[in-house]
Amino acid sequence: MKYKILLSMSALLVLSGCNDDTKIKEVTKEVVVEKPITVVEKVEVPVIVEVAKGGANDAQIGARAQFLVNQLQDSALKTKLQACQNGPFYKTDFSIGHRGAPMQYPEHTKESYVAAAKMGAGILECDVTFTKDKELVCRHSQCDLHTTTNILAIPELAAKCSEPFTPADAASGTPASAKCCTSDITLAEFRQLKGKMDGANSLATTIDEYLAGTASFRTDLYASQGTLLTHKESIELFKSLNVKMTPELKSASVPMPFDGMTQQMYAQKMIDEYKAAGVDPKDVFAQSFDLEDVKYWINNDAAFGEQAVYLDDRYDIAGFNPNNPDTWQPTMAELSNDGVKIIAPPMWMLVTLNNDKKIVPSEYAKAAKEAGLDIITWTLERSGPLATGGGWYYQSIKDAINSDADALVLLDVLAKEVGVIGVFSDWPATTTFYASCMGMTPSI
């Protein structure tokens, strides 16, 4: 004789991100068994429910990430990334907008920053330099206005450039040149400029030709607007976008002190603008290639120094080898003893190839972790097509690079084996896609 057992299953599933639109359903199920005993059990099981979309942390990643995934060779990584191609995708601090999203938007512009935030970058970067009247502005270099803005197309401002435009001379082989610095002009004059895609045509004989120097792997489709920002304006924009901030204090291209402003005053002025805006120090990762700047923040402003980032350019030291600790000065232990907690080298310093040409952590990466240092790295998707080895950013693993998809392979090693806490990218959608697929912690 058959009996019916009634199982009452209460769905007690707690879903991250649930709101009032999330409904939990009571499910009952009849089960036919052969035993002449009636048993009533309560079993907790997950029930699929609809979760309202449109949260503040949602990210829009577009099609590029899937384009890269499709190029991957069959592997566990490809299977994992294919399985999450429909999301959900969310904002994460692992994804850092390098000058915004400069693969397609003019760097350090409002438009570039907004695009990066939409792509899920939890941290955005303003490279900080100063004008003639010592106002802080967002530019990658103090003297890059001739390649990143339209200054040469404004005669009255072009006349103030450190070095005027000089056309190329084919007969002598002399390339076209110019040098225009933020310190050449006042803030009021800086506000007259428009950002453009970084680049210059070295063969140009006219200013228009010179300004038309966008790299082939980028685009001018979104360069019709390029709103420049002061450092203070970037802070307010980033607050409105609900992202964290990583300002880089750029080395001055003019002798310091500058009009009475010393290097330490410059470093403090940058921090003071966050204080004046009421920004929590935990939301700021102040950076510099100058270790003395980092030490200054650590020793003079502990709250902001706690997350100060040493941008490591020791690769410029003759004989430097990321797999030979004897070539590193200072050592990782010395950096840690000085109070440095976060180090940020380029990607190639963190990886090498083993005998099977597999990407693995370098001795540099291992030593940094052993010294207790967190690691941030730069810069993904800045090299253009990777079919020929990826160039400078991939130099330590060039023999294993032959496809754009290898950026994802490198990213996977950086995240899982090196253990980086963040990656700068020129197209943050890619890092956001990876971080979301791997279940990394959402930005808060």
Written as one string, the DSSP assignment of 368-402 is HHHTT-EEEEEEET-S---TT--GGGGGGGGGG--
Other C-beta atoms closer than 10 Å to the C-beta of 33 total 12
Q: What pLDDT, on the 0 to 100 scale, is given for residue 319?
A: 96
Q: How far apart are the first and last CA of the chain?
A: 59
Domain boundaries, the chain: 3-42, 64-126+229-437, 129-228
Cα distances from 392 to residues 104, 123, 289, 376, 425, in angstroms, run: 20, 24, 18, 18, 15
Q: Side by side, which strands form the sheet with 26-33? A: 26-33, 3-10, 41-42
Q: Is the pLDDT of residue 14 over 60?
A: no
Name the DSSP letter for residue 418.
I
Q: What is the mean pLDDT of residues 161-165?
A: 98
pLDDT at 45 over 70: no
pLDDT exceeds cutoff 80 at 13: no
pLDDT surpassing 60 at residue 21: no
Asked whether the predicted pLDDT for residue 332 surpasses 50, the reply is yes
Query: Is the pLDDT at 336 greater than 80, yes or no?
Result: yes
54 pLDDT tier (thresholds 50, 70, 90): low
pLDDT, tens digit (0-9, with 9 covering 90-100), for 404-427: 999 999 999 999 999 999 999 999
Task: Please give the Cα distance from 263 to 127 (Å, whole number).
Answer: 16
- In this predicted structure, the answer to whether residue 33 has a pLDDT above a threshold of 80 is no
Q: Is the pLDDT of residue 333 over 50?
A: yes
Q: Using the predicted structure, report yes or no on whether residue 44 has a pLDDT greater than 90.
A: no
Mean pLDDT, range 23-52, rounded to an integer: 39
Cβ contacts of 120 within 8 Å, gap of 6 or more: 57, 59, 60, 61, 89, 90, 91, 92, 95, 428, 429, 432, 435, 436
What would the mean pLDDT of 366-390 be, rounded to a whole number? 97
* Cα–Cα nearest to 136, from 273, 256, 277: 273
Q: What is the pLDDT of residue 248?
A: 98
Residue predicted with more confidence, 283 or 46: 283
pLDDT over 90 percentage in the chain: 87
25: pLDDT strictly greater than 50: no
Residue 213 CA to residue 15 CA, distance in Å, equals 49
Amino acid 273: pLDDT: 98
Handedness of CA 344, 253, 195, 294 (dihedral sign): positive
For the chain, percent of residues with pLDDT exceeding 70: 88
Dist. CA 329–CA 443, nearest whole Å = 34
Helix (H) or strand (E) holding 265: helix 263-276
d(CA 103, CA 15): 36
* Among 427, 435, 433, 438, residue whose Cα is nearest residue 116: 427
Question: How far is residue 439's CA from residue 444's CA, in Å, rounded to a whole number?
Answer: 15
Using pLDDT thresholds of 50, 70 and 90, give the confidence band for residue 46.
very low
Tens of pLDDT, residue by residue over 276-325, are 999 999 999 999 999 999 999 999 999 999 999 999 999 999 999 999 99
* Lowest-confidence pick of 25-34, 191-200, 363-372: 25-34
Please give the pLDDT value at position 56.
72
Which residues neighbour 290 within 8 Å (Cβ) at sequence distance 6 or greater? 249, 251, 263
Model-level pTM greater than 0.85? yes
3-state SS, residue 6: strand
Of the pLDDT bands very low, low, confident and very high (cuts 50, 70, 90), residue 210 is very high
* Band of residue 177 on the pLDDT scale cut at 50, 70, 90: very high
* pLDDT in the model for residue 173: 96
Superfamily of domain 64-126+229-437: Phosphatidylinositol (PI) phosphodiesterase (3.20.20.190)
